[in-house]
Every structure is written in C-alpha cells, then in structure tokens.
Structure 1
C-alpha cells in the first residue's frame, strides 16, 4: 500500500459502502449513506489537527481543555463532491467551503473548468478536497493543480472509491497529497468506470439517470 493512501477497513464503513454499491439503493438512501461516510472520512483525516489549551468552567470545576486552532478549508469537486459535503461539515462545522467545477470533455480529451471559488485568505491553509469517485484521476489532478496555484497548505483528499490507476497518477503528479478512502478498487472498465464500483455517483445522488 502506498504511504499516502489510508484505506479505512472499518466494518461499519464497509457495510455502508455495500449499500451504496447496490443498484437498487434509491437516491434518498444513497445521499444519506454518502453523508454518513463523509463524517467518518473527515474524522479519520483530521486526527492530527492542531489544538491548544483554554481555560473553562465546567459545572464542577475549572479545567484546561483542548480546542482546535484552525479548521481546514473544505473544497468540493462538483457535483459528486457535494454528496460528502454535509457529512464533512457535520464533523467540521466551522470550516470555510470552496467549490471546483470540472468535467472531462471527451471531444477535446481534456479537463474543462467551469467554476472555481475559494474562501478569502486561503494561502497557507490546509484543505480537504472532496471527490467520492477517483477513477482516472484527471479531474482530481486538475483540481489539485488549481489549488496549488493559490498556495494553499497541505491538501488531503477524501474519496469513497479509488482506482489503482488513479492512485498511481496522483502519486506521480502530487506525491505530497494524502488520500483517505473506503476502498481501493480492482480497476477500471473500458468506459472508465470503477470496478466493482457503484456507478455514476452524481447521477445516483441526484436521481438524474
């Protein structure tokens, strides 16, 4: 396993993933489960957030307790990344949010950006990049390129599924990026879909197919 890949094999997460994989899971249930997985991924990816001690008064006594110094910026890759967003924000409610809109255009054989918005004063800030399906890695690499143009801090990707091919390409172009995932898949089919996968996450989230 690559040192930058963190595959979470918790049985609860694997059970939830099995529900997502089922073609008969409807959009409402798919959204709910995706949000739940977002909470788990955010929890795992932020274990090393820096904190400092502050003094408070409990109902019993004064105590020195830890508080987080600086929440990471959360950036969602549209549209499928929004499936994880609410769950991540449940875990990190004070994070600012950015959005990256990109798609792969098969006619020009390149990634097209149609929207990009980051919070102000993002330079040096750590980022959690949300994209539940990392297949060929094209969109993720383009999003990482753009984030680094803004001189953000450490970038961590949260994804539900990742292919060996996509992982290899991200490690090549962005070896500093850590990735948290629920499953490293077997590979890709001729159409670029993950195997065994769960289909098109955006379509299943928003019932568009």
Structure 2
C-alpha cells in the first residue's frame, strides 16, 4: 500500500471513529449506549462474514430491518419496544454511521424492504464502553477455556489409542501450519507459554489461563 493510500485510509478511520464516539457521547442513557454497541457489533459481524465470502462491495453487510427487529426487539430481548429501535436506527442513519437502502422484493408483490449496514468499518475499541469491552473479554476467555479443555481431552484420547506423546506431534504440525499461514499467535510473548511448560514439554493449561485472566484483571483500571 502506498503512503497516499495509507493516508487516505487513516483519514477515513479517523472520521469514522469521531462519528461513532460523538454519537455515543450524545447518548447519556447507558441502555441506549448498549443498544448502539450491540447493533453496530451485529452489523459489523455481517459485514465481516460477507467480506470473507468475497461478496461484491455493493452487497456487503446489508441486513433487512425485519431481521434486526427479530434479533433485538421484543419481550426478553435487548430493546423492549419498536419505537425505541426505529428512533435509534433513524438517528444512526441521519448521522451517517449506518447506511440505508430500500429495494423491491421479488417474492413479496408490491412491497419494498429496508436494509441497513455500517457505513464504515468500525473497530471494537471505538464503539464499546468499558463495560462492553469487559463483557466481550469475559466471553472470549470462556471460549478459550472451552477450547483448551477440548484439546486436553483430545490429547488423552490419542494417548489411549496408542499415541505416546500427542503434544509434540500437535506442536510440530502447528509450527508447520504457521509457516504456511502465519497466525496472530506468533505475536504472543515468546516466554509466556514456556513459564507453564514442565521438563517433559507438557503445558499447564489451567495455569496459563489463570495467568492471562490475572493480567486482564490487572489492566481493568487502565484507560481505554
């Protein structure tokens, strides 16, 4: 990417960040802020999935309004009534945070459907309040814990079926795969896992989880 393109991307990101932060600052009700966080997160997830599927840009990220209603509005859901939802969606559209389009539906004669998508790509740290980030962090930690438990079970099953040291094989395969397709794990502190590896090369996964969780707690007081 050339320096000019990087500069343009940086300016667009700055504009998007300022828009969403200004919008959130004008909503002092914590419930309203949460509604914004969840709606933007949902639309961003759709955008990411569509991008990963290599959809054309004009088709990326659009969600029908009735699907948003089904996801967020009603008894036992995030937003209790449709009036609040429609007012918030209209404000987000008016402030150019989300985009809107209507189009006729081929199988719904005489009707037009309304769709929304995020107007720009938003980063989580721009959108989420501290409570939102801590909640997302807790969810990710729970997922990590479940994956590690599954890995431990898989290693035990391999040992029961004649594989003497599945951990070494897994590590070798992982290293080989990472050479072909580097992952974000390559950016981890190199000594972190070593702290929890014994003389035989086995990893104390529970200790590793506790270490990561402790670091998260230590950082709770830091400024986002």
Higher helix share: 2
Higher strand share: 1
Say yes or no: TM over 0.5.
no
- Higher RCO by CA contacts (8 Å cutoff, separation 6 or greater): 1
Larger radius of gyration: 2
TM-score by length of 2: 0.24
TM-score by length of 1: 0.25
